[in-house]
A and B are shown apart, each in its own frame.
Chain A
Amino acid sequence: MGRWLLKGVAGITLLYILLPLIFVTWLSFYRQEIPSFPPEGYSFRWYEAILDNDRMVDGLLLSLQLGVLATAIGLALGVPAALCIARFRFPGREMLNNLLLLPLVVPGVVLGTAIYIFHVETEIATGLPIIGSLLGLVTAHILIVIPWTVRLVTASLAGFDRTLEEAAMNLGANRWITFRRVTLPGILPGVVAGAMFGFVVSFGNLEMSLFLVGPGRTTLPIAILQYLEWKIDPTIAAVSVVQIALIAGAMLLTDRFVKVSRVV
């Protein structure tokens, strides 16, 4: 009896989570322009419409580029930071740890505003073209990627047996080779998971990016928002499905190498 209740609740929760996905996917195949029930028929025309929409395609490309860059740099900064926090005891360690997780807590709008003001001030002070630049966008996205890489890498370092590093050094490996050949493979699940979550967070970010994009440089979430301002045809649904498929694909791919459920 109790088991059926549990399964029932779990089923309802799952349905609750999946329902929007199901409807969006369904909607994306409607033939008619105005989403009304019942559908008049099914077609792929809205998927074709994405390809004809330059803003969507450019947005997708920019978001991919941004996600990859921010994740790569976020990892390059996050892994050493995690190593430092996990390995050394120094004054201000706890504060540094919290500081690195802070971007998770600050609302995107606040973060976006603050960074935008910072960009404006810096541009005035230095004369460098920072406002609305790709560099400005990437650095901001690194900020929201870092908490994920730091957190997940720290978690996997906690379960890493350090005598393995001693064994490597005893066998003749210096610190760098030890890291590359022993430590990194050991914490790979955390690194991969951190990269994946970082990418997803960057790829889906809307609020912060709104303040930082420039003319002719729009991320996919912003392109979707802008499109919605004057049209509500199922193109949006089709774009969403593409976006969901991309992220799901990334998750499945990483899960093949690293059991995501073990890290998160």
Chain B
Amino acid sequence: MARLELNGLTKRYGDFYAARNVTLDVAQGEFVVLLGPSGCGKTTTLRMIAGFVEPSEGSVSIGGQRIDRMPPWKRNIGLVFQSYALFPHLTVAQNVAFGLEMRKLPKAEIASRVHEALQLVRLEHLGDRLQRQLSGGQQQRVALARALVFHPDVLLLDEPLSNLDAKLRQEVRVEIRKLQKSLNLTTVMVTHDQEEALTMADRLVVMNEGEVRQVGTQRELYEHPADSFVAGFVGRSSFLDGSLETAERFRSRGGLEIRCRGEETGPAVLSLRPERLTVASANQDGLDNSFPGEVEFVSYLGGLIDIHVRLSGQDLVIAQIPNREDGFQPNVGERVHVGWTAGAASVFAGQGPRDQEM
């Protein structure tokens, strides 16, 4: 087990960059999640670490040793595939033993380590089963045992939970995270599910169009997104297009004058987290910003309620308010006032992501 370093890792197909200049340092025992929409380069990056895709440029090192020119079978990396990729003609125990046999361990040691690994995932009683006799969750655990049994330097997880049903996914998240911590495994997981990423990671890497957009903890990404893509992808945001007239004043396309904390003046996009907005029946004088608007849509989420409010012809925001008995709960068509502090908004230079929510 060791530190994993990616340096300027790039994969080019003709003019197309599947991954571009990916640089990342994963500390011993750290759980890093590569997060992004499909086609963002996260899987390509993972496959370059595993050795199935040859990088066009850049390097991959484990424990200071370069491995990017090694074939996959020499890398000592554990990988859990999205489809699990269990060998259908082998039993559970034979599947788990495969990596140890390849390392030419004595038979007795293989047997005891297979048992140990299956105990780790609580499947020691199913060693004689075939893949088709297992449930999805069991297959997933076998795949995990198979990837861990040979003590890999690095563990890679390729959307390991996407084939499980929602309830099981919650449990397995916690289980994988606990296991990873107790074994102190350097781990990289790929997912497009932000909730999964947020619950499991020590650090997240947000990717889009082959490039790393931001690396940071959950809080850093959520509170201080580097750009409007991250703001839209990690958590939800409402985006208002417009321009910064001064560092403190943003004018939206719909003509709203918003107090904020920006930097350079010029075309910009203002992003607002739904839960940082308050909705009231009257003007909210205590806040830096308060605008009247009409409720366009209300979605009831149980503990929370989403309220879509149109502030002008071009400006629409979503506010999320707690569902409380005594709370203010407007209906569609009602006039309300939406307010927020100057520090609640993030301002990015350039255009907003038009394909995002809203």
Contact = CB atoms under 8 A, between A and B. Distances in A.
Contacts of B89: 185-186
Chain A contact residues, majority secondary structure: helix
Interface residues of B, number: 25
A172 B103 CA distance: 7
Contacts of A163: 81, 83, 85
A169 B85 CA distance: 12
Contacts, number: 59
Given A172-B99, A172-B150, A177-B102, A167 B87 contact: yes
Chain B contact residues, majority secondary structure: loop
Interface in A174-233: 174, 177, 181-182, 185-186
Contact of B79 (A170, A174, A185): A170
Contacts of A169: 51-52, 71-73
Contact of A166 (B52, B76, B88): B52
A158 interface: no
A162 to B, nearest CB: 9
Interface in B76-96: 76-79, 81, 83, 85-89
B98 A161 contact: no
B102 A161 contact: no
A178 B146 CA distance: 16
Nearest to B146: A171
B102 A166 contact: no
A182 B99 CA distance: 13
A50 interface: no
Contacts of B71: 169, 174
A24 to B, nearest CB: 40
A55 B72 CA distance: 58
Contacts of B87: 164, 167-168, 182, 185
A10 B50 CA distance: 54
Interface of A: 161, 163-164, 166-174, 177, 181-182, 185-186
Interface of B: 50-52, 71-79, 81, 83, 85-89, 98-99, 102-103, 146, 150
Given A164-B88, A170-B75, 18 more contacts: A161-B83, A161-B85, A163-B81, A163-B85, A166-B72, A167-B79, A167-B81, A167-B87, A169-B73, A170-B51, A170-B77, A171-B98, A171-B150, A172-B74, A173-B73, A174-B71, A182-B87, A186-B89
12 contacts: A167-B81, A167-B86, A171-B102, A171-B146, A172-B73, A172-B99, A172-B102, A173-B98, A174-B73, A185-B87, A185-B89, A186-B88
